[in-house]
Structure 1
């Protein structure tokens, strides 16, 4: 799996550029059908990148929600302990 946030490796970028930098020119590419194949391949790569990015974003959101739930539970427990401690202090004050 690629690192998150990386669109392509350096080699992949050079490969992409190489498909478009052809000495024969765009006219010859259209005649031979290479232009259409390149366009379809680029669209396919873009779609896959979009799906990958959506998946990574969804994973991040789920991780952050899980972390938030854990932190909220910890905060709730601390508040309950503080409330119990405060009640004990008030009882001690009332006794003296």
Structure 2
């Protein structure tokens, strides 16, 4: 599911393999986004590539981290209602 950084989806879940909190966060993001028809993407902060260092440095100690439209909505233990409100608010107007 990872895509190149920066992701183009409205909702981004930053995770790492073997993270038990990430498993629950993935389920929560799926539960919120799919019924709303909102795309989301999972980004592995430990994946090799040109963005590996900066991603690991920014998010490594906080995973799971969820962002909606580029705004951090939570980390470690995610709040489902906060995520629902952010998704429902829609993308920022340009």
TM bucket normalised to smaller: under 0.3
Which of the pair has the greater relative contact order for Cα pairs under 8 Å at 6+ separation? 2
Question: Which structure features the higher share of strand residues?
Answer: 2
Question: Which structure features the higher share of helix residues?
Answer: 1
Q: Normalising by structure 1, what TM-score?
A: 0.23
Q: Report the structure number with the largest CA radius of gyration.
A: 1
Q: Normalising by structure 2, what TM-score?
A: 0.23
